[in-house]
């Protein structure tokens, strides 16, 4: 992080304070208290799981390694950071805060988590946001008032220029690591070896990634959340699907690419058509576009791709209406992304809460809102050859409209998914992921 973020951060904090002022007034609170959180303890053990700071905490400042710390904000006053810096020779003690953002906070160093309670506002009502489990160590009761959360989550959908700058950086980190993973695949590495190449290029350990990487060779690409890593390369390399992201000051990228091994032209042609379709969907990330309608449009286009490749005999319309397309594309088109990989408010009806239902027959869609400028979403269509879903399809009368020999030819490749992070703007969308790969190519 450099000083170049300073003016963007100042604007971001001003926007966040304004939103918080409105949320507190709406819900009848006087103060906001935000927990960074604590690392969860392993069951029947004296060790902790890796620490991940609360997204609400990271929304205020780029401090990702601050377990036991708190932000205290009262409208009209400078926010306070209660920074836990324990006296400890068992672990690395977090360094004192520094950087472009510190001038905007009153920083109070505490040595024990329990000291935080003494620095809370003495009068008025406090909205205390944080994960459960804070009370035993901090003595601070979390209440997570829904009206405050609804308001803050709604407006978190609209990224500030500062947030977009960090998401561009996260995509650059991810694209660089993806390129290293693709090179490891071409060199014949195992899934674990590819993953290790990814981590090295991302300059990260697993716990620092925004989610568990999916590194799938051959038929493993048919497991949507494949997080096992084979230690030895397959006897024959046919295909490679990688879904992996990176972080920048707590903001995530979420990128997926699929590759065919040399000599597997039929699968490469299918990848190329899914890639073209994906880019067509990304171009439609524009203000006023219903995300559910874009998802259903993707089903029609992908059914057409399957028809062009001889897998389906029925029309794209019939494939969607009958549910056949869902057997090959069983997940949603994408989701909001930002401080969390699957970011908040994807279904929210308004700043007051409420929920917009998914369209019938699409239970795994992760967003039902209409796109507006400032939103960032993933666009991740896929085509898969999943044994369980194919077996269910074979038992239906419409199975006669499927070329099962073609299906069997594609099954050893697992599946295809292509994913970019795309910003909705006042004009043409900004594809953070494609831009990041393009910058690497230019370099």
User: Does residue 1 surpass a pLDDT of 60?
Assistant: no
416: domain CATH number is 3.90.230.10
The mean pLDDT of the chain is 96
DSSP notation for 304-369 = HHHHHTTSB-S-HHHHHHHTHHHHHS-S-S--B-SSSSS-S-SSEEETTEEEPPPPTT-TT----S
Give the single-character DSSP code of 72.
Answer: E
Domain shared by 73 and 139, yes or no = yes
**334 shares its domain with 201:** yes
Question: What does the pLDDT average to over 112-127?
Answer: 92
Buried b (16+ CB within 10 A) or exposed e, 232-254: ebeeebbbbbbbbbbbbbbbbbb
- What would the mean pLDDT of 278-305 be, rounded to a whole number? 98
Which region holds residue 381: left if phi is over 0, alpha if psi is between -120 and 50, else beta?
A: beta
Interatomic CA distance for residues 228 and 59, integer angstroms: 32
Range of the domain at 214: 161-442
Q: Looking at the chain, how many residues does it have?
A: 443
pLDDT in tens, 370-402: 999 999 999 999 999 999 999 999 999 999 999
Statement to judge: residues 271 and 177 lie in one domain: yes
Is there a single domain that holds both residue 174 and residue 274?
A: yes
> What separation in angstroms does the CA of 75 have from each of 24, 25, 44, 184?
9, 10, 42, 52
Query: Residues of the chain with pLDDT > 90: what percent?
Result: 93
Query: Does 272 share its domain with 374?
Result: yes
When pLDDT is averaged across residues 152-180 and rounded to a whole number, the result is 98
| Residues 150, 165 within the same domain | no
Cβ-proximal residues to 186 (8 Å cutoff; 6+ apart), any chain: none
CA distances 64 to 83, 106, 251, 310, 338, Å, are 12, 18, 10, 49, 14
Angle of helix 291-308 versus helix 265-283 axis, rounded to 10:
160
Could you tell me if 379 and 246 lie in one domain?
yes
Query: pTM for this structure?
Result: 0.96
* Domain end among 133, 156, 179: 156
Domain boundary among 141, 156, 171: 156
Question: Is residue 193 located within the same domain as residue 82?
Answer: no
Take residue 145 and report the two structure tokens written for it.
């008032």
Q: How confident is the model at residue 369 (pLDDT cuts 50, 70, 90)?
A: very high
Residue 257 is classified by DSSP as E
Residue in 245, 236, 202, 231 with CA at minimum distance from that of residue 218: 236
Percent of the chain having pLDDT more than 70? 99
Do 364 and 251 sit in the same domain of this protein? yes
Tell which of 128, 156, 184 closes a domain.
Answer: 156
**Could you tell me the CA-to-CA distances from 108 to 7, 94, 403 in Å, in that order?**
24, 14, 68
| Confidence at 91, pLDDT banded by 50, 70, 90 | confident
Task: Please check whether residues 173 and 140 belong to one and the same domain.
Answer: no
Question: For position 44, which CATH number holds?
Answer: 3.40.350.10
DSSP letters spanning 124-174: S-EEEE--TT-HHHH-------HHHHHHHHHHHTS--HHHHHHHHHHHHHH
Give the 3-state secondary structure of residue 260.
strand
- Angstrom distance (rounded) from CA 415 to CA 219: 7
The reported pLDDT for the residue numbered 90 is: 85
Please give the sequence-ordered ranges of beta strands (E in DSSP) within 370-419, or none if there are none. Answer: 376-379, 382-384, 415-417
Task: Return left, alpha or beta for 247; rule: phi > 0 is left, psi -120 to 50 is alpha, else beta.
Answer: beta
Mean pLDDT for 100-116 is 95
Tens digits of per-residue pLDDT, 229-271? 999 999 999 999 999 999 999 999 999 999 999 999 999 999 9
Tally the domains of the chain. 2
Residues 201 and 116 in one domain: no
Specify whether 397 is located in the same domain as 268: yes
């Amino acid at each position: 992080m450099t000083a170049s973020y300073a003016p963007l951060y100042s604007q971001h904090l001003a926007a966040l304070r304004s939103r918080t002022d409105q949320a507190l007034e709406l819900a009848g609170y006087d103060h906001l208290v935000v927990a960074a959180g604590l690392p969860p303890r392993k069951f029947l053990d004296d060790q902790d799981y890796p620490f991940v700071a609360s997204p609400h905490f990271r929304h205020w400042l780029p401090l990702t390694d601050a377990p036991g710390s708190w932000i205290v904000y009262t409208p009209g006053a400078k926010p306070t950071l209660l920074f836990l810096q324990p006296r400890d020779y068992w672990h690395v003690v977090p360094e004192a805060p520094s950087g472009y953002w510190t001038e905007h906070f009153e920083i109070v160093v505490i040595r024990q988590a329990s000291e935080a309670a003494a620095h809370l506002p003495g009068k008025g009502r406090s909205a205390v946001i944080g994960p459960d489990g804070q009370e035993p160590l901090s003595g601070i009761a979390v209440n997570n008032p829904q009206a405050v959360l609804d308001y803050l989550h709604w407006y978190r959908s609209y990224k500030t220029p500062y947030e977009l700058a960090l998401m561009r950086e996260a995509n650059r980190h991810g694209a660089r690591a993806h390129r290293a993973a693709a090179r490891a695949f071409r060199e014949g590495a195992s899934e674990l070896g590819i993953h290790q190449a990814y981590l090295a290029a991302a300059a990260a350990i697993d716990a620092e990634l925004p989610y568990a990487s999916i590194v799938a060779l051959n038929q493993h690409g048919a497991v949507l959340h494949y997080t096992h890593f084979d230690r030895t390369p397959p006897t024959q390399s046919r295909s490679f699907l990688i879904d992996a992201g990176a972080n920048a000051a707590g903001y995530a990228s979420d990128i997926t690419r699929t590759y065919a091994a040399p000599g597997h032209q039929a699968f490469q042609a299918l990848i190329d058509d899914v890639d073209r379709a994906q880019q067509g969907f990304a171009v439609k990330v524009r203000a006023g576009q219903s995300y559910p309608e874009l998802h259903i449009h993707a089903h029609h286009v992908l059914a057409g791709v399957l028809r062009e490749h001889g897998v389906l005999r029925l029309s794209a319309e019939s494939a969607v209406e009958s549910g056949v397309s869902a057997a090959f594309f069983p997940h949603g088109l994408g989701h909001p992304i930002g401080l969390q990989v699957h970011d908040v408010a994807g279904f929210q009806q308004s700043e007051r809460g409420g929920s917009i239902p998914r369209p019938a027959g699409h239970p795994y869609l992760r967003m039902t809102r209409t796109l507006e400028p400032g939103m960032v979403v993933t666009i991740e269509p896929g085509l898969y050859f999943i044994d369980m879903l194919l077996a269910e399809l074979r038992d239906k009368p419409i199975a006669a409209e499927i070329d099962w020999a073609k299906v069997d030819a594609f099954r050893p490749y697992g599946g295809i998914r292509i994913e970019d992070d795309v910003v909705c703007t006042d004009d043409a969308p900004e594809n953070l992921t494609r831009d990041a790969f393009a910058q690497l190519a230019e370099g």
